[in-house]
A = this chain, B = another copy of it.
Amino acid sequence: MFEEDARNTLIKHGLKVTPQRLAVLETLRSMNTHPSTDTITGVIREKYPHIATGTVYKILETFVEKGMIKRVTSDRDIMRFDARTEPHHHLYTAQSGQITDYFDDELTRMLEDYFRKKQIPGFHLEEIRLQLVGNFTDTGTDDEQGHDSRHHK
């Protein structure tokens, strides 16, 4: 899934390798549910019960600054994070507050082409994010968590 292991990613970005940072990065990479800080902390504590809340916050902020992860904006007040850095979009559902990755290269290309041709006056575009809001029409037979619709076409 990820080109390099967490340890190398940290080194590449000039960060000290600590067990806490490894735990945060590996946890985030292993989840496709765009967890909140609180969820990440909870998962880590199963294996590493002593990590402090503030540490997780600080680590996540460092990672965002370095561009290793992204903040995903949810409708509610909680920050969510995404370890995937390839261009992709997000499916949002109000029902459960779930955020699911949506990979669609054709769509990404179409949007990039569009804005390559049409400049927005007075604005330098750096990133295009699409939020697709709706509901899952599932028959509900698969597991609760991890709506892993990685629609890579």
A-side residues, CB < 8 A to B, are 71, 73-79, 91, 102, 107, 110-111, 114-115, 120-138, 149, 151
- The docked-state distance in angstroms from the alpha carbon of A74 to that of B151 is 26
Nearest residue, chain B, Cβ from A93: B123
Cβ-neighbour of A132 out of B102, B125, B132, B135 (below 8 A): B125
Cβ-neighbour of A137 out of B76, B123, B128, B138 (below 8 A): B123
Q: Which B residues lie within 8 Å of A138 (CB)?
A: 122
Q: Is the CB of B73 within 8 A of A102?
A: no
A99 to B: closest C-beta gap in Å? 11
Q: Which B residues lie within 8 Å of A79 (CB)?
A: 76-77
Q: Which B residues lie within 8 Å of A124 (CB)?
A: 134-137
Known interface pairs A126-B134, A130-B128; A151-B120 also in contact (CB < 8 Å): yes
Known interface pairs A124-B135, A128-B130; A75-B73 also in contact (CB < 8 Å): yes
- The docked-state distance in angstroms from the alpha carbon of A129 to that of B132 is 6
Q: Is the CB of B129 within 8 A of A135?
A: no
- The docked-state distance in angstroms from the alpha carbon of A111 to that of B77 is 27
- The docked-state distance in angstroms from the alpha carbon of A78 to that of B76 is 9
